[in-house]
Amino acid sequence: MGHIWGYIGALTVVCIWGSTFVSSKVLLDAEMQPADIFFIRFVIAYLCMLVISHRRLFADDWHDELVFFLLGILGGSLYFLTENMALCHSYATNVSILVSTAPLLTALVCSIFYRSERMTGKQVIGSLIAFVGVVLVVLNGQLVLHLNPLGDMLALSAALAWAFYSLLMRRIMGSYSMAFITRKIFAYGIITILPYFLFVEPFSMTEAMLSDWVIIANLLFLSVIASYGCFLLWNWVLREVGVVHASNFIYLQSLVTMVVSAIVLAERITPMAIAGAVILILGMLRALK
């Protein structure tokens, strides 16, 4: 029964995370910078976490504190920066496909370090089928990919960062509460983005943006629901169903993004995308067996 609730939790998180791409696009179209969006969503999420987790400041020892620092980078500042920078240097289609390799990379990394997390033959086949479905959904009728080495490497780096985030979560999640873990990730994500503002591009959000209700609504969605709520729930899901099984649900993000984009942004859905959605779901169900 615990696994069923874990799967429901994973599906909930992925549905919300799949919607964040549309929400982020709205903010980027409003001339907000990617680093600004990440910083604000993590600051608000951290303040929300303080309400339920504020008594304890540090981990048991400096080794665990280092793990939290790395989690803040891998699942926070590095992941979001590399993904958004990839969009600046490559096509969105390329980035979407490469970031969607995260479940495969997570399974590969975890299988190297943990025997209990090694994929079975059915899981490998199911994951590959699901990835083919992701490619069809993302292409959505466009048959040509335009390679850009820098952008594509950044997108792959984002997927790899998430894989190692999942690996480190596997190591730490049995020792601390989910609230404490999530709060530490937000804290170190905020701290590690600050050098970017100092040496690359300064924080540039204006007062005019803060008076725009569309911007405020999307920032609240990204911070309170997609960060505070979803990171907390996702970290619990990793503990309940295992890193590899949970990661397979990430394949569904592209499907959710496609549906939400069609509703909110009036983007078209082609027969190729529908076929990809069917293949994606079938592959994922096989990988979960």
* Top mean-pLDDT range of 99-113, 116-130, 194-208: 194-208
Q: Residue 222's pLDDT is what?
A: 95
Query: For residue 43, which phi and psi values (nearest 5 degrees)?
Result: -65, -45
Q: What is the pLDDT of residue 226?
A: 94
The string of pLDDT tens digits covering residues 193-205 is 999 999 989 998 8
Report which of residues 86 and 62 the model is more confident about.
62
Q: Which amino acid is at 166?
A: S
Comparing 45-54, 97-106, 136-145, 161-170, the range with the smallest average pLDDT is 136-145
The residue-averaged pLDDT of 106-111 equals: 84
Q: Answer yes or no: is pLDDT of 2 > 60.
A: no
- The top-scoring range by mean pLDDT among 16-20, 111-115, 232-236 is 232-236
Supply 240's token pair: 């309940």
How much is the pLDDT for 8?
Answer: 92
Q: How many angstroms separate the CA atoms of 1 and 3, rounded?
A: 5
Residue 133: what are its φ and ψ, rounded to 5°? -60, -40
pLDDT, position 124: 77
More confident residue, 258 or 63: 63
Distance CA(160)–CA(8), nearest Å, equals 25
Percentage of the chain modeled with pLDDT above 90 = 37
Please give the Cα distance from 11 to 194 (Å, whole number): 32
Residue 202 CA to residue 196 CA, distance in Å, equals: 8
Low-confidence winner among 15-29, 131-145, 147-161, 189-203 (lowest mean pLDDT): 131-145
Tell me the CA distances in angstroms from 196 to 71, 73, 77, 101, one per residue in order. 18, 12, 9, 26
Higher pLDDT, 13 or 153: 13
pLDDT score, position 141: 63
* Residue predicted with more confidence, 124 or 12: 12
| Two tokens, residue 84 | 């958004």
Distances (CA, A) of 201 to 23, 188, 204, 256: 22, 19, 8, 32
Question: Considering the chain, what is the average pLDDT of its residues?
Answer: 85
Rounded-to-5 percentages of helix, strand, coil across the chain: 80, 0, 20
Whether 102 and 263 have beta carbons less than 8 Å apart is answered as no
pLDDT at 215 (0 to 100) = 94
Q: Provide the token pair at 228.
A: 């505070």
> Distances in Å between the alpha carbon of 3 and those of 98, 203, 241, 266?
29, 42, 6, 36
